[in-house]
Structures are given as structure tokens and as C-alpha cells.
């Protein structure tokens, strides 16, 4: 009762009470927390890239020294090429397989549902666990290549060769992430209207024709979503590489994020590590922005228009 | 109408089944094999021995401690992100003016920040506030980086609540707080569930923040524990595989009893 009386006396408050809308102050704790632990570090990394810091004490302002080192270091362009190469290989393997499997699993058949639930299993393991399991599987002495060397030849140290290490990384990525992308495609295929296929059937289109003329175009938005996940993951992820190959043999699988980690937490060159981090942030954000812009994903055109 | 069998797709699906199950088989068979049998037969040999010693060895070590640490960190992260993201999303959906739009933009931008790229400044910030090598030192950054997706999931759920319901609450003279408690939270339950699973998975599987922000065994998480087992157990392959299985128990339980929630959480899409 009392609240109502006050409200009657003050029309402004009365309106606020009537609509029951939250004031902006409701957002303050969350926004402040996010700013402190996500946006502040973003600023700090730029600051640190202009300093020399060994991890202890205070960072010393040294201007462009770290950046000059960065541009002189020939391992940096090398790491960028390795990262991009792995990314392209990952996309070429994962996208088609995930799209095909997802389309297949979207069918109503019982056996497909059973198999799809087995395909799901890698999603139950953490990245660390997966990398550790594959490390054992590829072990030069007790792993699969070692036991198969009578059959296929080689020394058994597949992961110790430059190409072998790169192939292993792409393979492990496929094992870990295709189930996820498959789920995306499965859901998307199920939401394609049946009338499209019925119409195609009347026109006499076969299964292959249906896939390329109906399913794939209808999956456009899902393909772009998948691509963004792969690109962002490929440009920033490094736990798998760290555990599986440690960037080796030599530096043949040292991607840019791994190089950043080594510079900072192994060599204690936090300034240069920060400069690499800034480079990484710029590249990753630009690429994902470009991807959304080029594909028109930000406009989110519906593939259902005209149906 | 019964669809024709699709042999090409069927063949591909069986090949894929092989690829998916070989490592799974190796994990399960390896964990119950004796060390000697494993080394002789290799990862995909037919089971020749059965023993649960490997699990005993792992559980006798610090594994349970790591498990407890991960649980504490996961629960704290999920709760913290939820408590902060709920009122924030409420403002984004129901608030008026520049604040609600600005807040939403901020979090959309936040979605694009790769957490890997800020580990160096995070190390500096967490050390500076004296939280290095503590649970909180891992919880705070992990929760912060789950905020953007949390806000996205919650707002898309809250936008489904119709205006009539808000108006009915307003007619009853309910304040913003009362509307929040009585209407918004109960109707957001599906998206809250999705968000808890999504953030829980990320915290549970987190590797990078703990790697950089902790060092002692007292706060070590399971993923890092597995990593150190490579060096610690050396050639004790069965123990490694047993540890991998133990680390996946919560997710296996979710998979068995709440598959729908798990899938929605994995996708990070509103719980519909």
C-alpha cells in the first residue's frame, strides 16, 4: 500500500513502477567485472608490448624494442605460415566430412541414430585428454606406427617427422572437432523444409543432384558458422600442439600462439610475447570480421525466403 | 515412403566409425590391460589381460585432489557467470536507452576476443592483485571470458518472453526486481540450463588459464594433472588411460542422463 501511495505522488516513479523495467545500474556489476578481466588485459597487452619484462618486478618501458625484435625474427613469419597451412588443411578435411556425415546422420533411420550417438563420443573428452591419448597412440616405441611398421614400413616415429607431425595434428583435430560440426550440420539439414525435396523428386532429380542443388545451398549459414569456428580455433588454439608435438620436430609445428607462449613463459621475454599476442589479436579479429562481412553473415539472410 | 539405401554414404559412415572408435577402444582396453601386455600388443590389440590396478594407481596419487580442484573451479565459474549475466541480460532485453544497447554491443565485441591471446596480461593482472596460484585466480578470468556467450544465450531466451506477461506483472504493480524474480528467472530456466552446461564444459576442460595462472599441486586441475602424468607416469600407459577415463566421468554421466541438455550446452544455443 505504502509503495502505491508514493507512486501516486510522483508520476515519474509511477511510470517506472508500472512498466517494471530495470534501471541501467542492474548491468553495472557484470559489465564492470567483464571490463576488469577481459578488456583491461586487452589494454595491458598493448602496454606490455612496449616494455621489457622478465615476469618479476615491474615492466621497463623500452619503446619499440620488442616490436623491432618481432620484425627481425624469422621464426615469426614461419610460425604464421605453419598456422595458416594447418588451418587450410583443417578446413579442407573437416568441412566436407562434417557436411556429408551431418547430412547422413540427419536421416530418420534407426541405425543412423545409433551410429550418430557413437560419433558423439570424442565430445566427452577434454582437449588435453584427447591430445594425451593421441600422443600415446603415436608413440614412437609403443604406438600404432611402431606396431604397424612391418606392414607399412617407416621407423615408427611418424610424429617425429615434419610431415608426420603436421598430418597427426590435422588428424587429431578432425577426430576432436568433426563430431561437433557434424551436429551443427545434422540440425541444419533436419530443418530444411521437406517440400523442397518433394518438388525436386517430381522434377526427377536424383540423390546427388538433390544434395548439390538443395542441401548445400540451404546449409550456407551453417557452413559459414562452421568456418568461423574453425578459423578462430585454428588461429588461437594451441593446447593440442603443446601437448602433442611441443612445436617439434625442431620448430616445424610451432604455430604463432605457441611461439607467443614459449617467448613469454619459457624464455621470459614477456615484452616480445606481448607483441606477438597483439599481432595475433589483430590477425584473428580481422580474419573473422572479414569472413562475416564477405559472406554477408552479419545480415543473416534467411535461406527460407520464398518457401 | 521408404528411402533407398545409400551405399556410398553408408560406406563412408562405417569408415568414420572405425576412425572414431580406434582411440576409444585404445583408451578402454589400455586402461584395463597390464603395462606389459599393452607394450607387447600395442594400442589396438585384442584384450589379453584384465586388471583394474591402473585405476588404483591413479586414485592413490593426487588425482582426487585435482578432481576436487576442477570441481570447485567449475562450480564457482558457473555460479559467478550466472549471477552476473542474469541481471545484465535483463537490462539488455528490458532496459531503456543507450545503456542497454551499449552493454549488448560491448559483449558482442567481447565475443571476438581470443582468450589465448591475453594470457600474458592476465598473468600480470592476476599476479598484481595477488591471486596467482589460487582458485580465484583461475575462476575470475574463466568466468569473465564466459560472460559474452552467457549474455547472448540469456538474452535470446528472454526475448521470447511476451510483452503481455510483462504488462500483466506491471498491472499488478510489480517492481523491476519482482518481475525479475517472479517472471524472468522462471521463464529463463531452459537458457539457464544451457548456459550452465556450456560454461561448465569450458571451465571443466580449461587448460590454458590454469597452465599459466597456477603452479602448485594444491590448486592443480585435472587437465593439467593429465598433462603432468605424461612425465610423471612415463611409460605407464594403462595409468594414463585410466586417468583419461576418470577425467571424463562427469561428462559421461551427462551424456547418459541428460543428452539433450549436453547437446544444447555444447552448441551454446538457447534451450528450445
pLDDT digits (tens, 9 = 90+) for A129-152: 999 999 988 888 778 887 777 776
Report residue A8's pLDDT band, with 50, 70 and 90 as the boundaries: very low
Cβ separation of B118 and A243 shorter than 8 Å? Answer: no
Give alpha helix (H) positions in chain B. Answer: 7-32, 35-41, 53-60, 63-94, 98-110, 119-128, 135-158, 163-171, 176-179, 185-187, 189-205, 208-213, 222-232, 237-247, 249-257, 259-267
> Which residues of chain B does A87 touch, with a Cβ-Cβ cutoff of 8 Å?
none
- B2 occurs within a structural domain: no
Chain A nearest C-alpha distance from B136 (Å): 12
C-beta separation of A116 from A122 below 8 A = no
What residues contact B213, with CB distance under 8 A and at least 6 apart? B122, B123, B126, B131, B132, B133, B137, B138, B141
A259: nearest Cα among A242, A283, A244, A243: A242
- E strand spans, chain A: 51-52, 60-61
- Predicted pLDDT of residue A296: 59
Do B45 and B66 lie in a common domain?
A: no
- Predicted pLDDT of residue A12: 44
Cis peptide before A249 (omega within 30 of 0): yes
- Predicted pLDDT of residue B65: 92
Cβ separation of A26 and B176 shorter than 8 Å? Answer: yes
B102: nearest Cα among B158, B151, B145: B151
Tell me which of A56 and B271 has the higher pLDDT. A56
pLDDT at A155 over 80: no
Kindly write down the DSSP assignment for every residue of A277-291, as one continuous string: HHHHHHHHHHHHHHH
What class, spelled out in words, does domain A83-250 have in CATH? Answer: mainly alpha
Cβ separation of A26 and B88 shorter than 8 Å? Answer: yes
Judge if ipTM > 0.90: no
Chain B nearest C-alpha distance from A281 (Å): 6
- Report the share of chain A in percent with pLDDT over 90: 22
Place of cell 621407423: A155
User: Which of B43, B110, B124 minimises the CB distance to A34?
Assistant: B110
- Predicted pLDDT of residue A66: 84
Do B138 and B178 lie in a common domain?
A: yes
Q: Does B261 touch chain A (CB under 8 A)?
A: no
Give alpha helix (H) positions in B172-207. Answer: 176-179, 185-187, 189-205
Look at chain B and report how many structural domains it folds into.
2
Do B39 and B114 lie in a common domain?
A: no
- Predicted pLDDT of residue B182: 83
Give alpha helix (H) positions in A191-267. Answer: 194-202, 207-210, 216-218, 220-236, 239-244, 256-261
Boundaries of domain holding B231: 57-267
All structural domains of chain A with their residue ranges: 1-37, 83-250
pLDDT digits (tens, 9 = 90+) for A164-205: 899 999 999 999 999 999 988 988 888 888 888 888 888 888
Task: Give the SS3 label for residue A232.
Answer: helix
Cβ separation of B117 and A238 shorter than 8 Å? Answer: no
Q: For the residues B174-192, what does the mean pLDDT come to?
A: 84
Question: A283-307 burial, b for 16+ CB within 10 Å, e for fewer?
Answer: bbbebbeeebeebebeeeeebeeee
pLDDT at B106 over 50: yes
- B91 occurs within a structural domain: yes
Q: How far apart are CA A60 and CA A243, in angstroms?
A: 33
Report residue A301's pLDDT band, with 50, 70 and 90 as the boundaries: very low
Place of cell 595475433: A280
- Predicted pLDDT of residue A202: 86
- Predicted pLDDT of residue A59: 81
- The neighbour count for residue A261, using CB atoms within 10 Å, is 26
pLDDT at B1 over 50: no
Do B139 and B178 lie in a common domain?
A: yes
Chain B nearest C-alpha distance from A83 (Å): 15
B225: nearest Cα among B256, B195, B247, B192: B247
Average pLDDT of every residue of chain B:
85
User: Which of B42, B114, B223 minimises the CB distance to A142?
Assistant: B42
Q: What angle do CA B271, B114, A94 make, to 5 degrees?
A: 70
User: Which of B90, B106, B107 minimises the CB distance to A26?
Assistant: B90
Q: For the residues B63-68, what does the mean pLDDT come to?
A: 92
Highest mean pLDDT among A91-95, A104-108, A114-118, B226-230: A91-95
Chain A nearest C-alpha distance from B143 (Å): 9
Report residue B4's pLDDT band, with 50, 70 and 90 as the boundaries: low
Angle in degrees, 0-180, between the axes of helices B222-232 and A127-137, rounded to the nearest 10: 20
Do B117 and B19 lie in a common domain?
A: no
Q: For the residues A112-118, what does the mean pLDDT come to?
A: 85
- B18 occurs within a structural domain: yes
> Which residues of chain A does B113 touch, with a Cβ-Cβ cutoff of 8 Å?
38, 42, 281, 285
Give the phi and the psi of residue A78 in degrees, each rounded to 5: -60, -45
- Predicted pLDDT of residue A95: 93
- B272 occurs within a structural domain: no
Report residue B86's pLDDT band, with 50, 70 and 90 as the boundaries: very high
Q: For the residues B115-142, what does the mean pLDDT come to?
A: 91
Amino acid at each position: 500500500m505504502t509503495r502505491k501511495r508514493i507512486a501516486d505522488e510522483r508520476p515519474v516513479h509511477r511510470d517506472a513502477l508500472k512498466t517494471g523495467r530495470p534501471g541501467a545500474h542492474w548491468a553495472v556489476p557484470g559489465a564492470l567485472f567483464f571490463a576488469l578481466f577481459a578488456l583491461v588485459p586487452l589494454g595491458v597487452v598493448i602496454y606490455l608490448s612496449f616494455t621489457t619484462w622478465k615476469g618479476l618486478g615491474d615492466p621497463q618501458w623500452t619503446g619499440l624494442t620488442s616490436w623491432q625484435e618481432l620484425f627481425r625474427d624469422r621464426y615469426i613469419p614461419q610460425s604464421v605460415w605453419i598456422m595458416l597451412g594447418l588451418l587450410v588443411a583443417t578446413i579442407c578435411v573437416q568441412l566436407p566430412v562434417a557436411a556429408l556425415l551431418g547430412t547422413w546422420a540427419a536421416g530418420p533411420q534407426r541405425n543412423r541414430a545409433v551410429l550418430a550417438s557413437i560419433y558423439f563420443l570424442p565430445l566427452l573428452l577434454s582437449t588435453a585428454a584427447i591430445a594425451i591419448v593421441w600422443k600415446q597412440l603415436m608413440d614412437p616405441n609403443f604406438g600404432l606406427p611402431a606396431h604397424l611398421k612391418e606392414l607399412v614400413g617407416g621407423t615408427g616415429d611418424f610424429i617425429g617427422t615434419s610431415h608426420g607431425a603436421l598430418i597427426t595434428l590435422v588428424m587429431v583435430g578432425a577426430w576432436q572437432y568433426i563430431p561437433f560440426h557434424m551436429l551443427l550440420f545434422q540440425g541444419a539439414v533436419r530443418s530444411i523444409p521437406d517440400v523442397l525435396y518433394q518438388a525436386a523428386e517430381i522434377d526427377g532429380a536424383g540423390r546427388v543432384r538433390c544434395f548439390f542443388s538443395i542441401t548445400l545451398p540451404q546449409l550456407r549459414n551453417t557452413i559459414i558458422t562452421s568456418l568461423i569456428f574453425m578459423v578462430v580455433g585454428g588461429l588461437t588454439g594451441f593446447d593440442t600442439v603443446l601437448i602433442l608435438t611441443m612445436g617439434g620436430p625442431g620448430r616445424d609445428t610451432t604455430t604463432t600462439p605457441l611461439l607467443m607462449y614459449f617467448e613469454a613463459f619459457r624464455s621470459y621475454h614477456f615484452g616480445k610475447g606481448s607483441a606477438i599476442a597483439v599481432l595475433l589479436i589483430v590477425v584473428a579479429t580481422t580474419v573473422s570480421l572479414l569472413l562475416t562481412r564477405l559472406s554477408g553473415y552479419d545480415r543473416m539472410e534467411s535461406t527460407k525466403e520464398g518457401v | 515412403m521408404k528411402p533407398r539405401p545409400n551405399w556410398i554414404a553408408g560406406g563412408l559412415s562405417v569408415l568414420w566409425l572405425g576412425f572414431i572408435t580406434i582411440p576409444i577402444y585404445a583408451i578402454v582396453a589400455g586402461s584395463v590391460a597390464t603395462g606389459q601386455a599393452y607394450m607387447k600388443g600395442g594400442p589396438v590389440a585384442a584384450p589379453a589381460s584384465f586388471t583394474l590396478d591402473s585405476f588404483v594407481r591413479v586414485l592413490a596419487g593426487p588425482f582426487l585432489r585435482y578432481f576436487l580442484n576442477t570441481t570447485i573451479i567449475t562450480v564457482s565459474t558457473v555460479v559467478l557467470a550466472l549471477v552476473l549475466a542474469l541481471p545484465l541480460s535483463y537490462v539488455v532485453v528490458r532496459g531503456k536507452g543507450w545503456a542497454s544497447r551499449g552493454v549488448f554491443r560491448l559483449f558482442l565485441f567481447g565475443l571476438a576476443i581470443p582468450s589465448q591471446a591475453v594470457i600474458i596480461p592476465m598473468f600480470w593482472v592476476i599476479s598484481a592483485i595477488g591471486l596467482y596460484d589460487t582458485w580465484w585466480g583461475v575462476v575470475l578470468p574463466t568466468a569473465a571470458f564466459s560472460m559474452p556467450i552467457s549474455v547472448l544465450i540469456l538474452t535470446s531466451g528472454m526475448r521470447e518472453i511476451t510483452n503481455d506477461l510483462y504488462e500483466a506483472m506491471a498491472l499488478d504493480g510489480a517492481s523491476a526486481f519482482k518481475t525479475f524474480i517472479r517472471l524472468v528467472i522462471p521463464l529463463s530456466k531452459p537458457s539457464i540450463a544451457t548456459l550452465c552446461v556450456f560454461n561448465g564444459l569450458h571451465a571443466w576442460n580449461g587448460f590454458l588459464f590454469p597452465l599459466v595462472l597456477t603452479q602448485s599441486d594444491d590448486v592443480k586441475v585435472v587437465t593439467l594433472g593429465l598433462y603432468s602424468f605424461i612425465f610423471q607416469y612415463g611409460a605407464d600407459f594403462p595409468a594414463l588411460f585410466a586417468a583419461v577415463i576418470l577425467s571424463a566421468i562427469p561428462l559421461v554421466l551427462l551424456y547418459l542422463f541428460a543428452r539433450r541438455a549436453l547437446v544444447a550446452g555444447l552448441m551454446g544455443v538457447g534451450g528450445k
